[in-house]
Chain A
Amino acid sequence: MHAELLTLALRPFIDPLPLQRHWWLLIVPVCLLVSIAYKAVRVSDFRTYWKQVFSMTAQLIIAIVGVCIAAFLLVQFIIPRIMPIA
Chain B
Amino acid sequence: MARYITARAAGVNRPPATIFAGGVKRFRLPRDRGHPPANNAGPIAPDAILILPRRTRMDTTHTNQTGFDPLAGVAAVIFPGAGHLVRREPRRAALVAIGVLGLFFGGILVGGIDVIDSREDRVWFFGQALVGPLAFGIDYAHQHHFKVIDLQKRQLRTALPDEARNPVDASPLPIRPDPAGVPTATYTRDGKAVTMAPARPPNIKSLSKVNELGTLMATLAGMLNLIIVIDALFPTLRRENA
Contacts and interface: CB of A to CB of B under 8 A. Distances in A.
Given A30-B103, A30-B220, A37-B228, A8 B200 contact: yes
A33 interface: yes
Interface of B is mostly: helix
Contact of A8 (B198, B208, B211, B228): B198
Contact of B161 (A5, A11, A12, A41): A5
A2 interface: yes
Interface residues of B, number: 58
Interface of A is mostly: helix
A26 B213 CA distance: 8
A43 B177 contact: no
Contacts of A11: 203
Contact of A34 (B58, B103, B198, B210): B103
A73 B242 CA distance: 34
Nearest to B98: A36
A19 B228 CA distance: 30
Interface string B171-194: 000010100011100000000000
Interface of A: 1-2, 4-5, 8, 11-17, 19-20, 23, 26, 29-30, 33-47, 49
